Amino acid sequence: MQGSMFPFGSTLPSEAFVRLPDRSFHFQPVPGRLSWSRNYAAKGIKFICACSSLLFQVHGNVYPTGYYNVTMYIGQPARPYFLDLDTGSDLTWLQCDAPCVRCVEAPHPLYRPSNDLVPCEDPICASLHAPGHHNCEDPAQCDYELEYADGGSSLGVLVKDAFAFNYTNGQRLNPRLALGCGYNQVPGASYHPLDGILGLGKGKSSIVSQLHSQKLIRNVVGHCLSGGGGGFLFFGDDLYDSSRVVWTSMSSDYTKYYSPGVAELFFGGETTGLKNLPVVFDSGSSYTYLNRVTYQTLTSIVKRT
């Protein structure tokens, strides 16, 4: 699902590492097909000793599936849920039996929420509302409503529940994290039959931000996607050799999105005259998108060549 609300966006490339405090990205194509194996050195990827990072297998492909997802184990007892990776939004939510007013087809039974409601005064709740619009009908709970660029939406309430994770050194942890109990979903144009969304944005409600605030990981998220499908996602900074990473600064003008700033569009090595185009990295989008004016200009140039 596309979470970016900007007119010009881009899906993440083959390999992306994001250092959130420095708002930086690193891009480096991965040669050949990636298989899920701990023998990463044989795949041309060098990692250093890991002791406080989380690693997840990624499933899916650009075509024909059209999206990528990871499995998260949530609840007590922990149950599996397939979640869409989305760096274009913050909140992680599941279709929820609260009961559900409107839910769509999903691979697993609806999430049964815990009774641990996130109160209205919680900073995570405030982060989901525009300044001056943080008003709750019930101060004991936090209601949310998310709208995505593809026309989809999720309405629900915030709860806290246990997530079952394993550090890469084998140590288990079960932090209680805030997530959305979505009881009213409207599928968008890019709807995928999954259990929910894994929000990986820069906001306080992001899973990465919550884990970092609990001092469980360094504030770093990265993923590697193979052209043949699949890949991996990681939280923390123990899985790569920092001496081999080149960082690109993210713009401070965008507090909620990963963006290197504005771009100028070139075609055939020559400028198209289109400048100051805001660029957003959005793993929830399968393709690169252009706004209407940019798209029409580009197609006109292509037709003339």
Question: Among the options 86, 161, 195, 238, which is catalytic?
Answer: 86
Q: Cα-atom radius of gyration of the chain, to the nearest Å?
A: 20
CA distance 10 to 288: 4
Residue 241 token pair: 């050799």
Closest CA to 15 of 197, 221, 208: 221
Closest CA to 213 of 5, 20, 15, 7: 20
CA distance 121 to 102: 27
Q: Is 86 a catalytic residue?
A: yes
Cα atoms in the 13 Å half-sphere on the side-chain side of 64: 0
H/E stretch holding 126 = helix 123-127
Closest CA to 222 of 50, 76, 65, 80: 50
Question: Among the options 161, 237, 238, 282, which is catalytic?
Answer: 282
Q: Is 122 a catalytic residue?
A: no
Catalytic residues: 86, 282
